[in-house]
Amino acid sequence: MSSWSEERRRNQAAEAEQHRLDEDAREARRIKAQEIADKRQREERRKDAEEKRTGRAQQRRERMQRRQARAAKREKTLTPGNVYRRGTLLLVALSAAASLPAQVLHFVAISWMLFPIGPAVEGAAWVMAAGVAYADERKLAGWVRWTLRGLSMSAAGFAATINYKYGTSLTAEGLTANEAQAAGIGLAAVTLGGPLFFEVRQWVMTLAAKTATPKQQAEDKARERHRKDRAKKFKDVTDRQRDLLLAAPFGTLSEEDAFDQAWLDKKGAPRGVTADAIADRLDAEADVAAVLASGEHAEEKLAVELLLADIFGRDRGDGGPSGTSGSKPKGGPRGGAPKGRTALGGKGKRPVRGTSATEGDRPLDEADLETVRKLAGALGGTDRLSARNVREAVGCRNDYGLRLRDAVRAETQGDNQ
């Protein structure tokens, strides 16, 4: 019996422990779910706040853009040109609004059947003024524009006379004589002023369209001077150019293409090249070749050789890109001409001569020594000798050139002692 009771107590204790563990697990799951829910809510609130900030920033940018657009529009609208053009149109509209009723009332007072005369007279002035603007736009002949101007001002003058008489007749309406005269003058002024303002506006716009910037004016002046100088210097070519332009369909041949073809027709060569220029160049090249080939002008030959060597960019130092090595060569001081030296062979340049002797035991050639002595004389002293200019003059390897230079310097020092 006691064992059964003990077993029951153990079972109850195990059930209680299991129940406690289940409760702890449920509580942990609840806490974890609550944390997830809180985290989700915080994330949602953060996103909402970020969206609100983004929305407010976007609204600020849009307001700034609208303000900038309005400022740019105001700046563009309130330029002197726009103010003048629009202000003139406003004055014109006010003038028409002030003068047209007086025209109508004047003729209606005579008879209602004369009602169209007022708008017709006033409209004639404006239609002719618009005709002047159209003639300027289409670039019609000057007499057309002046005829339209005359018709416009004639109609405006007739309308101004009618309005002046109408204004002075207002004494019957209870105005004094001075008041009636002022009304007549005012009506006549606005009747004439409207078309006159419009015509001045058209003049200003036309002149402004024709006015170029200082830079454009200078460029046009330079282009015109170039055209005149070209026509004066190459009259036969420019005459042929005009023939080609007239012969070709309009707009199919440009002036520069026509000049190129005209030069080729007259000179037989591309633009800028003439027979005299070609002959002068050939003569100059022949003179240079003759000096290089002549043995009577050693100093001139050496100077020209050095100049040509600098031009062709050869031997930019001891053992440069011409193929001359700064180290001791195996084939002697004159073993094989390096690449790049053959370009001057036809102009008197002596190529590097081949030999089987080495640098160490090769004796100095007397002809080479004489060449270096002459080079020193041409340069103004042995102190100006270098491995480079000796190598250029003799056509040898670097070590051999150094030995030649040192030998000539030693001779000079011995003579001075």
Burial profile 180-211: b = 16 or more Cβ within 10 angstroms, e = fewer:
bbebbebbbbbbbbbbbbbbebbeebbeeeee
Chain segment 283-297, per-residue pLDDT in tens = 777 766 665 555 444
Q: pLDDT band for 298, please (50, 70, 90 cuts).
A: low
Q: Answer whether residue 314 shows pLDDT above 50.
A: no
Q: Identify which has the larger pLDDT, 184 or 344.
A: 184
Q: What does the mean pLDDT of the chain come to?
A: 77
Mean pLDDT over 193-209 rounds to 78
Chain segment 232-259, per-residue pLDDT in tens = 999 999 999 999 999 989 888 899 999 9
Side chain identity, residue 28:
A
Q: pLDDT band for 417, please (50, 70, 90 cuts).
A: low
**Cα–Cα distance measured from residue 40 to residue 405, given in angstroms and rounded to the nearest whole number:** 92
Which of 7-11, 75-79, 153-157, 409-413 is predicted least confidently?
75-79
Q: pLDDT band for 263, please (50, 70, 90 cuts).
A: very high
Q: Answer whether residue 72 shows pLDDT above 60.
A: yes
Chain segment 379-389, per-residue pLDDT in tens = 778 877 877 77
DSSP string, 162-173: HHHHHHHGGGGG
pLDDT for the residue 112: 85
Q: How far from each other are the two terminal CA atoms of the chain, in whole angstroms?
A: 144
**Cα–Cα distance measured from residue 415 to residue 409, given in angstroms and rounded to the nearest whole number:** 10
Q: Identify which has the larger pLDDT, 72 or 304.
A: 72
pLDDT for the residue 289: 66
**Cα–Cα distance measured from residue 344 to residue 340, given in angstroms and rounded to the nearest whole number:** 8
Residue pair 57/64 in contact (Cβ under 8 Å)? The answer is: no
Token pair in block for residue 372: 């270096």
Long-range contacts of 237-244 (CB under 8 A, 24+ apart): 237/262, 237/263, 237/266, 237/267, 238/262, 240/265, 240/266
Burial profile 254-272: b = 16 or more Cβ within 10 angstroms, e = fewer:
eeeebbbbbbeebbeeeee
Residue pair 164/188 in contact (Cβ under 8 Å)? The answer is: yes
Chain segment 392-403, per-residue pLDDT in tens = 788 777 778 888
Q: Identify which has the larger pLDDT, 302 or 43.
A: 43
